[in-house]
Amino acid sequence: MSVEISASGEVADRLAAVGALRRLADRLEDAAVEEAMRSGWGWPQVAEALGVTRQAVYKKHAKRLIAAGVALRRRLG
């Protein structure tokens, strides 16, 4: 993945880019959090690495990862 910021172009393209970047960020987050939890990270570390609260990361990912059979470390705090 390569990134070069371009602020030019049609406004419709730039608006669409915002939506696409949000979707991309969500997909990257889902995959990265799953990978981290599968390799033994705890919720506090994942949360700090993402720059969000533990509650936020737990609420967003716990159900999916439990259903996916990921062995989660006990939630601390």
Partner 1 sequence: MSSFDHYLQRILIAAAAEARAEGSATTEAHHVLLAIAGDGSPSLAAAGLDHAAVAAALDREFARSLAAAGVRVDGGLPRATPLSDGSPQLGATAKAALERGFALVQRKRDCRPGHVLLGVLLAPVGTVPRALELAGVDRAGLAEDVRREIAGGGDDR
Interface contacts to partner 1, rule CB under 8 A: 1-6, 9-10, 12-21, 23-24, 26-28, 30-35, 63-65, 67-68, 70
CB 59 within 8 A of CB 50: no
Q: Tell me how far apart the alpha carbons of residues 56 and 59 are, in angstroms, rounded to a whole number.
A: 5
Secondary structure element (H or E) that encloses residue 36, with its range:
helix 11-38
Nearest distance in Å: CB 41, partner 1? 15
User: Which CB, 9 or 77, lies closer to partner 1?
Assistant: 9
At which residue do the structure tokens 């999916």 appear? 64
Q: Would you say 67 or 76 has its CB closer to partner 1?
A: 67
